[in-house]
Amino acid sequence: MIRTLRGRLAALESDGAVVEVGGIGVLARVSATTMTRLPAPGESVSLLTHLVVREEALDLYGFLDAAERDLFEAFIGISGVGPRLALAICGVSRPDELRLAIARGDSRVLQSAPGVGKRTAERVVLELKDRLGQIAATTSGEDGASPAAAVMAARDGLMSLGFSGDEADEALSGAPVEADSEELVRYGLEALRRR
């Protein structure tokens, strides 16, 4: 399995980036988010990759950071979500924002990806919401946890107090993004008290 690709960025194409390695141009399909962060053609680039082997093709998918590749690999692990659809979802927003949307149960964010309907987005959220803590987080807040990890910790905290997962999700739905898990638990308890 090819896990990294390093070389000169030869060209940007509609479906990815061509990286020249040892005189060979390798097409790495990249998300819209990654495409905007790539250097100018002619400069060196290093991508983390995921190789998809199919009967009729070998497709290489490229990512600038491990967080996006981890999400991509989580998405393709869901029934009915292929690599192209997973890449489209990755292109909606930065990985930390996608993790946060999934943690909050916000499938509308995923629906903005081309080809992703309401049912698919809801299935992705449903299947990944509980596994989200296992997906490596790269952005850290003041307490060293990602925003998504803080939301998941707060959700777990509310559930340990006897609230259902749905109640916890609803209580945390409007919480500030920058809040740590303790602030989120307080926010959630206040929201639940007002109901």
The mean pLDDT of the chain is 88
| Residue where a domain terminates, one of 39, 64, 89 | 64
What CATH number is attached to the domain comprising 168?
1.10.8
Query: 20: domain range?
Result: 4-64
Tens-digit pLDDT string for the chain (195 aa): 899 999 999 999 998 999 999 999 999 999 999 999 999 999 999 999 999 999 999 999 999 999 999 999 999 999 999 999 999 999 999 998 898 888 888 899 999 999 999 999 999 999 998 776 544 344 444 445 567 778 878 888 888 888 887 888 888 887 887 788 888 888 989 888 887
| Of 53, 42, 56, 52, nearest in space to 86 by CA | 52
74 and 129 assigned to the same domain: yes
Strand partners, 4: 48
C-alpha to C-alpha distance for 184 and 159, rounded to whole angstroms: 13
Domain check: are 56 and 109 in the same one? no
* Whether 70 contacts 48, CB under 8 Å: no
Vertex 31: Cα angle to 149 and 124 (nearest 5): 50
End-to-end Cα spacing for the chain: 52
The whole-model pTM stands at 0.73
Report pLDDT for 133.
52
Residue 147 in tokens: 């925003």
User: Which residues are 50's β-sheet partners?
Assistant: 61
How many Cβ atoms from other residues are within 10 Å of residue 190's Cβ? 10
Residues 121, 144: one domain? Answer: no
